Structure 1
């Protein structure tokens, strides 16, 4: 498996995670008890939904092996380093996959 494919799979897994968090937070609003306005889950739904979109877009760019996908993966990995312990582990793995320049099958043949 190539490094862009590995990065794609990590972003796909994070997309699923953030998608589930968005769904669960939205469902808690729909079926849960009324909450005070200052405890509104709307910011969480928006944040998780935004992160799902970012990982979808980054994963799509990684799948093609583009430099944009690699750069976005590095940026997200650095941010994820702050999320101890799981974010740190995922961030370190993403950095190990994305720090070196990616080679595409076309560049290997020439």
Structure 2
């Protein structure tokens, strides 16, 4: 592999690690380990501290509108049926939303903000 291609691969791997770090920070905030997370809702919004309450509200909205609200069915079944153990659908949807937020936040960061990530 030539040097240019190797640098591109390394840059891509670094970007993926940074996105994963942002996703982990969002996940930690959603489950209550932290009360705020640095992220952006999209261009041209800058990366700012977002409170946990706001994240939960937006996540609720995203889940509600997903597949015309069909994502709530598995959630309610999981919560209300003590025999139900299948949370994969809701978990996958939530992980997809978190990853989208991490990707958008990463893309909205300045180079200095990206370099400040501990990855």
The TM-score, its normalising length taken from structure 2, stands at 0.33
Greater share of residues in helix: 1
The TM-score, its normalising length taken from structure 1, stands at 0.36
Greater share of residues in strand: 2
